[in-house]
Amino acid sequence: MSVNTNSLQLSDYLEKLPGTTFKRLYQQPSTAFAIFRRMLPHLAKTIVMAMLYMPTPFLISDLEIWVKPNSKRQKDQALATLRSLHIIQSAGPQSMTLTTNFRNSLRLALEGGGDHHSFGVPSTLPVPADVDLGFLDRYARKKWDDILHYVVNSVEYSDMREKDTGGGGPKASVKELLIAGRLVEKRSVATISITQAGFTFLLQEANSQVWTLLLLWLEAADANVERAGMDSVDMLSFLFLLASLELGRGYSTDALTEPRRNMLPYLVDFGLIYIPPHDHQQYFPTRLATTLTSSESSLRSVSAGFLAASEGGISDAGDKNAIILETNFRVYAYTSSPLQIAVLALFCELKMRFRELVSGKLSRQSIRKAVDMGITSDQIISYLATHAHEQMHRLAAAQKKPLLPPVIVDQIRLWQLDTERMSVCPGFLFKDFESVREYEDMANFAGEIGVLKWRNDRKGMFFTNKVEQIKDFMKNRRKAEQ
């Protein structure tokens, strides 16, 4: 099982975009580069790189020779991802090429030529003395923690909320966004409460939280284009540009286009960039921005980065990977961050609290309570996995065992299934096939590209959550038969 909820979200958003949008997006080398780096599985990256400087279309038969026979599934999934992101297109019945814009842009990104300014124009002005990496990290962490606190505190810790908003919570625009995105709901004038989407948001890795918020913002901008005057495609491409900037370097705001300059105040509110108060000529990307497209499980790198920065001075690196889960259902978390403790308390029965350590237990009641609040077992498990202590990672690597004890993972799911015997997923039902062979071909294909949700061989039906590629497959199959 891969715990990769974050890029799913971004990929969902991207998949909804029409092909023309992709054409525009891929005009910018930084965007093509970021999408390559962030959105593609490893094998897909390898295939793209192999095709990048290939003068002729890549024959599918050649690809099949290249890939080992028992990796066919990975190959099909890689191709499916590439197709859905409009990176490859068919160049004939049995061959494929990279789409023109993507190929040109990625080549430009690797070769470093052209005149596109898509990797940011560095500012020539002197850097203010107080702006260094440590400062930027502290700044980004403060901004982001404010947002998270706002969401967490809407659960129950009302006394803390009073205190925190006094100390300066997130800006009103961010609050509006959280409410518009239905991460929190306004119950009355003064109180807000968290929604199920809010729990999902909380339990994600930091990087996917950033993306969730940014995507909400994009959608909000899409919804009222006239008022905001922002184009979501241009915004997205600017976000990818931010991701390719260098941490600790000042970039010139003058070189930006007008709409992009208008985005800056929002990005400051999210903590993605920093603009010195007295000097609006330059902006500094923070670690939240520069790690937007890092492909590994991103919170680990973000928090590792924060950790490295905190060695210099700050002692409370709050959101680090600190959870140890034992096979006897006990949970230990080396943290003193109220945020992380509050999140843990959502699904865990906390028993003891020491300085820098809390310990608790997963139990049927605690999981049921969480499930009743709208948290799913998948979210809990992925939270535990992404925040697992280094020791857990090391042990898992040394003994070649799964990261979390399988017993616990199974049990968490079973506890959830106690109440839910049904799961809902919009999609498409395929039935009434002409022959058993046709059914099997189609169902197996759907399974290989990873869209199959349910199948029943006896009734000859199956159910998928996406249909586009199956359509193509049906067409090709029919053609082949005639």
Partner 1 sequence: MNRIDASDHYEVTATGQTPSLLVVVLDTNPRAWQALGPTLSISAALANILVFVNAHLAFGNDNQVAVLAAHSHRAVWLYPKSPNNSSPKSSSKKKRFGGLGGDGDVEMTGVNGSSRNTKAAPLGTSANKYPQFAAIESSILSSLQALIAETDSSDIPYTTLVAGALTTALSYINKTALSFAPAKPSSTDPNASGTGNNNGSGGAAAVAGAQQAPGLHARILVVSVSDSAPSQYIATMNAVFAAAHARIPVDTLSLSPHAAPTFLQQAAFLTGGSYAAASLNPRGLLAYLMLGFLPDAEARQHLLQATQDRVDFRAACFCHRAVVDTGFVCSVCLSIFCEPPPADAGCLTCGTRLALGHYGSKPAVVPRRRKKKKKVNGVGGREETGSATGTPAP
Q: With binding defined as CB under 8 A, does residue 320 bind partner 1?
A: yes
Nearest distance from C-beta of residue 291 to partner 1, angstroms: 7
CA distance 67 to 62: 9
The residue within the footprint of partner 1, chosen from 31, 195, 209, 291 (CB under 8 A), is 291
The residue within the footprint of partner 1, chosen from 92, 114, 229, 265 (CB under 8 A), is 114
Q: With binding defined as CB under 8 A, does residue 37 bind partner 1?
A: yes
Q: With binding defined as CB under 8 A, does residue 204 bind partner 1?
A: no
Tell me whether residue 13 or residue 332 sits nearer to partner 1 (CB atom): 332
For 183, the 3-state DSSP assignment is coil
Q: Which helix (H) or strand (E) holds 194?
A: strand 192-194
CA distance 50 to 44: 10
The residue within the footprint of partner 1, chosen from 227, 421, 459, 479 (CB under 8 A), is 421
CA distance 476 to 359: 57
Bridge-based pairing state of the strands 323-325 and 330-333: antiparallel
Where in 445-474 is the site for partner 1 (CB under 8 A)? Answer: 453-455, 463
The residue within the footprint of partner 1, chosen from 16, 355, 437, 459 (CB under 8 A), is 355
Q: With binding defined as CB under 8 A, does residue 91 bind partner 1?
A: no
Decide: 146 and 168 in contact? Cβ < 8 Å.
yes
Tell me whether residue 95 or residue 165 sits nearer to partner 1 (CB atom): 95
Decide: 288 and 160 in contact? Cβ < 8 Å.
no
Nearest distance from C-beta of residue 95 to partner 1, angstroms: 16
Q: Which residue stretch of 212-220, 243-251, 361-369, 472-480 sits at the interface with partner 1 (rule: CB under 8 A)?
A: 243-251
- Distant-in-sequence contacts of 127-136, Cβ < 8 A, 24+ apart: 127/250, 128/276, 128/279, 131/250, 131/274, 131/276, 131/284, 132/248, 133/247, 133/248, 133/309, 134/309, 134/310, 134/312, 134/313, 134/314, 136/247, 136/248, 136/274, 136/284, 136/286, 136/287
CA distance 284 to 365: 47
The residue to which tokens 């947002």 are assigned: 147
Q: With binding defined as CB under 8 A, does residue 309 bind partner 1?
A: yes
Decide: 358 and 335 in contact? Cβ < 8 Å.
yes
Q: With binding defined as CB under 8 A, does residue 180 bind partner 1?
A: no
Nearest distance from C-beta of residue 159 to partner 1, angstroms: 27
Q: With binding defined as CB under 8 A, does residue 36 bind partner 1?
A: yes
Q: With binding defined as CB under 8 A, does residue 364 bind partner 1?
A: no
Strand partners for 461: 456
Q: With binding defined as CB under 8 A, does residue 409 bind partner 1?
A: yes
Q: With binding defined as CB under 8 A, does residue 400 bind partner 1?
A: yes
Q: Which residue stretch of 61-69, 90-98, 212-220, 429-437 sits at the interface with partner 1 (rule: CB under 8 A)?
A: 61-69
How many residues belong to the site for partner 1 (CB under 8 A)? 101
The residue within the footprint of partner 1, chosen from 10, 25, 108, 358 (CB under 8 A), is 108
Q: With binding defined as CB under 8 A, does residue 130 bind partner 1?
A: no
Give backbone dihedrals phi and psi of 17, rounded to 5 degrees, phi first: -70, 145
Q: With binding defined as CB under 8 A, does residue 404 bind partner 1?
A: yes
The residue within the footprint of partner 1, chosen from 12, 15, 42, 257 (CB under 8 A), is 42
Q: With binding defined as CB under 8 A, does residue 391 bind partner 1?
A: yes
Nearest distance from C-beta of residue 417 to partner 1, angstroms: 5
Site string for partner 1, 143-162 (x = CB under 8 A): --------------------
Q: With binding defined as CB under 8 A, does residue 125 bind partner 1?
A: no
CA distance 178 to 169: 13
CA distance 348 to 415: 13
Q: With binding defined as CB under 8 A, does residue 67 bind partner 1?
A: yes
The residue within the footprint of partner 1, chosen from 180, 397, 429, 436 (CB under 8 A), is 397
Q: What separation in angstroms does the CA of 282 have from each of 136, 239, 261, 262? A: 14, 17, 11, 14
